[in-house]
Homo-oligomer: A and B are copies of this chain.
């Protein structure tokens, strides 16, 4: 390790309380969809301390709609600003985007939480709260890395572009807006919770809504109706089979440790209006994974024709076929070449800090990397603190040590990707 590298790492180590404070401040501002404003204000307050050009803007739906990759159910980004901060390099280095999303998913059932989801606390080396892992922990690592470089007087040669974007959880319109505003680079790192594995391929995904029909009747003579709830059980079972068929096709060795490489998640179900009536409609919403080498269109038509085949299992669906909509969100898959320099530079930084070989895998979930690579032509690697299994869960937490360690790895990665004045 170079002296300057050691200095940067030491700075981070000696400021871990600062890192925890920043993360708690970010988590304390609930930033679910449409409500990202106050958390972005915390980011902004931090960025204003840096020597950087800060750009804050509300994405324009009108502009976004011009882009073929835009797919969202949002009608406005009022009070949902994106932020970018550019530290201009002295020239001669490669440029780098550091991208993190500020939005978090809802907290789910409060009763499952042992703590208040938006009042973060630290217990036994873990910081608890919604978004600690996905992904305000990663964002904090980025900000700590940048601050460390600045505090230690590192002069980068390539441009460094930090982005705090909205709407990742709903399909990536925030990152798409950043691409459309002109932000591109020679490479990008997204510190989503990979448990410090390097994810060079990411599953894409899309949301679907399946409407299952029944025939209403009085509950006391329920046999005179047809329960949409019972029919929806057949639909769910059929989707489980489709998931098995789709995943059998995936042979990429990067997926060998992933239980289900491209899952189909049934996230919500809602049907019926009255306990004493037979339910006449059920709506099922979920998320269908897209393999790195698949197109969204191909996945859609496979699922649509699969559901159409339900009529061969149950005559009811012949007369009342399910309806499927691809609504709200879509995340493009991402596919980084296995020998790309991003991997090599990050591997070296990882080794310097951990003395170990990194694990290189494919991610079972989508990131904004799909938008950055497809729309922004910016190659993307995903690497960050926190474990996937914590994301979207009750009692979400991140290990403080992982947060600090990843900040150090990321700071060395930035120095060696962008290069710096010696």
A263–B229 CB distance below 8 A: no
Task: Choose among B112, B277, B279, B281 the residue that contacts A280 (Cβ–Cβ < 8 A).
Answer: B112
Query: A203 interface residue, CB < 8 Å from B?
Result: yes
Chain B residue, CB-CB nearest to A272: B268
Q: Closest CB of chain B to A323's CB: distance in Å? A: 11
Q: Would you give the 0/1 interface string for A344-368, flagging 1 where the beta carbon is closer than 8 Å to chain B?
A: 0000000000000000000111100
B275–A222 CB distance below 8 A: no
B273–A271 CB distance below 8 A: no
Q: Would you give the 0/1 interface string for A210-244, flagging 1 where the beta carbon is closer than 8 Å to chain B?
A: 00000111111111110101101100110000000
Q: A207 and B328 in contact (CB under 8 A), knowing A218-B392, A219-B392, A233-B236?
A: no
Q: A221 and B364 in contact (CB under 8 A), knowing A267-B274, A271-B269, A392-B216?
A: yes
One of A2-10, A16-24, A282-290, A409-417 at the interface: A282-290
Residues from chain B with a CB closer than 8 A to the CB of A277 are: 105, 108, 265, 267, 392
Query: A74 interface residue, CB < 8 Å from B?
Result: no
Chain B residue, CB-CB nearest to A106: B273
A263–B393 CB distance below 8 A: no
Query: A305 interface residue, CB < 8 Å from B?
Result: no
Residues from chain B with a CB closer than 8 A to the CB of A270 are: 269-271
Residues from chain B with a CB closer than 8 A to the CB of A229 are: 236, 266, 269
A328–B217 CB distance below 8 A: no
Q: A394–B273 Cα gap in the complex (Å)? A: 13
Q: Would you give the 0/1 interface string for A185-214, flagging 1 where the beta carbon is closer than 8 Å to chain B?
A: 000000000000000000101011000000
Q: A269 and B272 in contact (CB under 8 A), knowing A109-B281, A260-B222?
A: yes
Q: A213–B394 Cα gap in the complex (Å)? A: 13
A216–B265 CB distance below 8 A: no
Chain B residue, CB-CB nearest to A261: B220
A388–B223 CB distance below 8 A: no
A207–B105 CB distance below 8 A: no
Query: A147 interface residue, CB < 8 Å from B?
Result: no
Chain B residue, CB-CB nearest to A169: B276
Query: A301 interface residue, CB < 8 Å from B?
Result: no
Q: Closest CB of chain B to A333's CB: distance in Å? A: 12
Residues from chain B with a CB closer than 8 A to the CB of A399 are: none
Which A residues have a C-beta under 8 Å from some C-beta of B? Answer: 105-106, 108-109, 112, 134, 169, 203, 205, 207-208, 215-225, 227, 229-230, 232-233, 236-237, 259-260, 263, 265-282, 285-287, 289, 328-329, 363-366, 388-389, 391-394
Top 4 closest pairs, chain A to chain B, by CB? A220-B365, A219-B265, A268-B272, A267-B275
Known: A217-B392, A220-B364, A265-B278. 12 other contacts (CB 8 A): A108-B273, A109-B281, A216-B392, A216-B394, A218-B389, A219-B287, A221-B259, A222-B263, A222-B265, A229-B236, A265-B277, A268-B274
24 intermolecular pairs with C-beta atoms under 8 Å apart: A108-B216, A108-B280, A207-B275, A208-B275, A218-B392, A219-B267, A219-B286, A219-B365, A220-B287, A220-B289, A220-B366, A222-B260, A223-B259, A223-B263, A229-B269, A266-B279, A267-B273, A267-B275, A268-B274, A269-B269, A272-B285, A274-B392, A275-B329, A276-B287
